[in-house]
């Protein structure tokens, strides 16, 4: 009978500085159903501008924001 030996290694996630950061916003305003209009992925400044313009055009004020980055996993020392 063989026994596998698993060494427990702890890992940490660090943000990859070469990875592009992205934001997206989806309009969740609406009484019965969400508006659902989506900005797509863009940088933070553009995402804020997109939301402001959507609010100006529609009166909608509530959004679900998503932030994306890249992470590198390395063993903890």
Instruction: State whether residue 34 is helix, strand or coil.
Output: coil
Using the rule CB under 5 A, which residue among 25, 27, 47, 51 binds Zn ion? 27
Cβ closer to Zn ion: 46 or 60? 60
Cα 48 to Cα 2, 5, 24, 25, 59, distances in angstroms: 58, 51, 9, 9, 15
CA 15 to chain CA centroid, Å, is 13
Cβ closer to Zn ion: 10 or 57? 57
| Residue 42 binds to Zn ion (criterion: CB under 5 A) | no
**Using CA atoms, how far apart are residues 5 and 65, in angstroms rounded to an integer?**
43
| Residue 38 binds to Zn ion (criterion: CB under 5 A) | no
Output the smallest distance, CB 57 to Zn ion, in A. Answer: 9
Query: Which residues are at the interface with Zn ion (CB under 5 A)?
Result: 27, 29, 35, 37, 58, 60
């Amino acid at each position: 009978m063989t026994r596998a030996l698993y060494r427990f290694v702890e890992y940490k996630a660090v943000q990859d500085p070469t990875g592009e950061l992205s934001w997206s916003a989806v309009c969740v305003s609406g009484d019965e159903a969400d508006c659902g209009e989506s900005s797509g992925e863009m940088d933070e400044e553009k995402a804020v501008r997109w939301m402001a313009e959507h609010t100006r055009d529609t009166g909608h004020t509530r959004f679900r924001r998503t932030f994306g980055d890249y992470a590198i996993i390395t063993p903890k020392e």
